[in-house]
Amino acid sequence: MQHYLSALKVGGEFSRRLSIDTEDEIGELAKAFNQMVAALQNL
């Protein structure tokens, strides 16, 4: 996740998404983060 955030911050890379391998709270957080990045990409 740290590499992903760095790419987003430095290069404005909005096309990448976090992979979701779990259905727990961390998976829900990753899903919400992906939705947020998708919304930012569409601005």
pLDDT at 28: 92
pLDDT at 21: 85
- Looking at the predicted structure, is the pLDDT value of residue 9 above 70? no
Between 11 and 43, the more confident residue is 43
Please state, in angstroms and rounded to a whole number, the distance separating the CA atoms of residues 17 and 30: 9
Average pLDDT of the residues in 34-42:
86
pLDDT at 19: 81
Chain centroid, CA 40 distance in Å: 10
| Sign of the alpha-carbon dihedral angle for 21, 2, 43, 11 | negative
Start-end of H helices in the chain: 2-11, 25-41
- Looking at the predicted structure, is the pLDDT value of residue 25 above 80? yes
pLDDT at 24: 95
